[in-house]
């Protein structure tokens, strides 16, 4: 009996942790079979700052996901974000020993591996090396050089860098929660996979994922990722401002923001007032919705202007780099009323809200199609794709697997033994393996 190939995405966010289990159906869509979410304790602005609490939150989300579908989670694809993430552009080249041979995968690997050897600041490590375009013997704007003749192979790269300690802390939390790390990916890239269409990526688009602790940006043009950034502000700073501005507790501030909040102060009349129950028998507080909107507006404008600065830094105002498809907003923060209009007003770019429903099977739970789950769905898609590229190898109990590939197994189900198959690993897989090896040695 063939084992159903399930995959798991784990989104470790600042406000929530989501574990999502699914598989690819025969139409190439993602079928979600189980989902679990828990309040994220121990993560601040996308970075783990309390290991014990994060482990408990991960376990809670995983147990809920397992209970919802009766399957057991073995390992997960996890996203990485946080204020320590930065990106840079880099050009590199290799000289091939024999220009009479055509360029192959090995040459590209050699070039990418060379970029991984770049000297970073102390405590930093390269997470992704994303090729932009290639040059062969000076001939520019080549998207795919495989099969061409040439002695000198050059490329421009988009390099994403993060702090080693932050990445290892996430790995440690996953291992301590009793899970294997299957793959690791940048959260803005995962969100982009879930909500952007190929046409938008070709035309040029900026994805803005407004989470609880951070706002992630990913810019695509000609189908290639051109720029990424993580801004250390998100929905939580808006809640914090409401809490201080209205002198109320955080829970009430969050509810106020969700129910009555608007990013456009002109929407509310001066006499619209909401009453908040006082603490422990104190008098209820009356809050003007116009003031609430002003507080929200000030902070949202600050976030959007920072993002717009990054879009300008990429070169959006240059005719060749223009983002024709404009902006796509996603993440929990994108559900704030009138945010779309405010973004259009500040940036002058077409804007839409991105829902991750394009890649989901038709009968999926409507809740999962909310922008809040964009990153989790993107991570699940990444896990499914990773599984497709690296079919499960035979694995005896207690034997170390060279790729951390045991994604999920039905409880009590025997694994079908398969013949060993040599796979060419991508650089990111090698990196995930390196992290796994580090964690094993740190025991």
d(CA 131, CA 111): 10
Please compute the mean of the pLDDT values over residues 405-427 and round it to a whole number: 40
CATH of the domain at 151: 3.30.1490.110
pLDDT for residue 392:
57
Contact (Cβ atoms closer than 8 angstroms) between residue 356 and residue 381:
no
pLDDT for residue 115:
93
Comparing C-alpha atoms, which of 77, 105, 73, 112 is closest to residue 403? 77
* Per-residue confidence band for 415, with pLDDT thresholds at 50, 70 and 90: very low
Contact (Cβ atoms closer than 8 angstroms) between residue 41 and residue 54:
yes
Query: Is there a single domain that holds both residue 16 and residue 92?
Result: no
Is 393 a residue whose pLDDT tops 50?
no
- Say which range, 193-197, 248-252, 399-403, has the weakest mean pLDDT: 399-403
Which is higher by pLDDT, 432 or 158? 158
Query: Is there a single domain that holds both residue 260 and residue 330?
Result: yes
Mean of all residue pLDDT scores within the chain: 85
Query: Is there a single domain that holds both residue 264 and residue 234?
Result: yes
Residue 379 falls inside a structural domain = yes
Residue 443 falls inside a structural domain = no
| Residues 6 or more apart in contact with residue 135 via CB below 8 angstroms | 93, 142, 152, 153, 154, 155
CATH of the domain at 396: 3.30.420.40
Range(s) of the domain holding residue 107: 86-163
Q: How many domains does the chain have?
A: 3
Is 53 a residue whose pLDDT tops 90?
yes
Query: Is there a single domain that holds both residue 319 and residue 394?
Result: no
Q: Could you give the count of Cα atoms lying within 13 Å of 17 in the half-sphere of its Cβ?
A: 31
Query: Is there a single domain that holds both residue 62 and residue 97?
Result: no
Query: Is there a single domain that holds both residue 169 and residue 307?
Result: no
| Residues 6 or more apart in contact with residue 64 via CB below 8 angstroms | 19, 35, 36, 37, 38
Query: Is there a single domain that holds both residue 122 and residue 112?
Result: yes
Contact (Cβ atoms closer than 8 angstroms) between residue 383 and residue 183:
yes
pLDDT for residue 128:
87
């Amino acid at each position: 009996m063939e084992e159903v190939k399930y995959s798991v995405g784990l989104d470790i966010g600042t406000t929530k942790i989501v574990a999502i289990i699914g598989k690819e159906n025969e139409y190439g869509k993602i079928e979600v079979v189980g989902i679990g979410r828990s309040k994220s304790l121990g993560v601040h602005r996308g970075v783990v700052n309390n290991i014990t609490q994060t482990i408990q939150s991960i376990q809670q989300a995983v147990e809920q996901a397992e209970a919802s579908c009766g399957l057991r989670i073995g390992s997960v694809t996890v996203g990485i974000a946080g204020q320590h993430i930065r990106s840079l552009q880099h050009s590199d080249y290799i000289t091939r020993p024999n220009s009479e041979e055509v360029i192959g995968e090995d040459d590209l690997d050699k070039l990418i591996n060379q970029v991984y050897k770049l000297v970073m600041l102390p405590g930093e490590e390269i997470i992704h090396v994303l090729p932009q375009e290639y040059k062969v013997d000076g001939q520019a704007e080549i998207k795919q050089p495989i099969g061409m003749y040439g002695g000198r192979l050059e490329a421009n790269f988009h390099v994403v860098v993060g702090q080693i300690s932050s990445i290892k802390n996430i790995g440690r939390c996953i291992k301590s929660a009793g899970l294997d790390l299957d793959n690791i990916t940048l959260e803005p890239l995962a969100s982009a996979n879930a909500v952007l269409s190929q046409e938008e990526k070709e035309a040029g688009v900026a994805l803005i994922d407004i989470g609880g602790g951070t706002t992630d940006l990913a810019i695509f043009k000609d189908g290639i990722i051109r720029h990424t950034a993580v801004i250390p502000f998100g929905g939580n700073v808006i809640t914090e401002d409401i809490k201080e501005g209205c002198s109320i507790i955080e829970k009430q501030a969050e509810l106020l923001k969700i129910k009555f909040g608007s990013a456009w102060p002109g929407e509310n009349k001066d006499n619209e007032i909401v009453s908040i129950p006082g603490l422990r028998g104190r008098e209820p507080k009356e809050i003007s919705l116009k003031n609430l909107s002003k507080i929200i507006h000030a902070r949202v404008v600050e976030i959007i202007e920072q993002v717009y600065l990054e879009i300008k830094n990429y070169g959006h105002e240059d005719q060749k780099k223009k983002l024709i498809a404009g902006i796509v907003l996603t993440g929990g923060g994108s559900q704030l009323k009138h945010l779309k209009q405010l973004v259009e007003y500040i940036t002058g770019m077409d804007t839409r809200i991105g829902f991750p429903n394009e890649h989901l099977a038709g009968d999926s739970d409507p809740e999962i199609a909310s922008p809040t789950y964009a990153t989790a769905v993107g991570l699940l898609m990444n896990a499914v794709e990773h599984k497709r590229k690296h079919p499960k190898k035979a694995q005896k109990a207690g034997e170390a697997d060279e790729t951390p590939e045991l994604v999920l197994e039905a409880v009590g189900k025997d694994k079908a033994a398969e013949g060993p198959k040599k796979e060419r690993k991508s650089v990111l897989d090698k990196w995930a393996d390196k992290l796994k090896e580090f964690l094993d040695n740190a025991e």
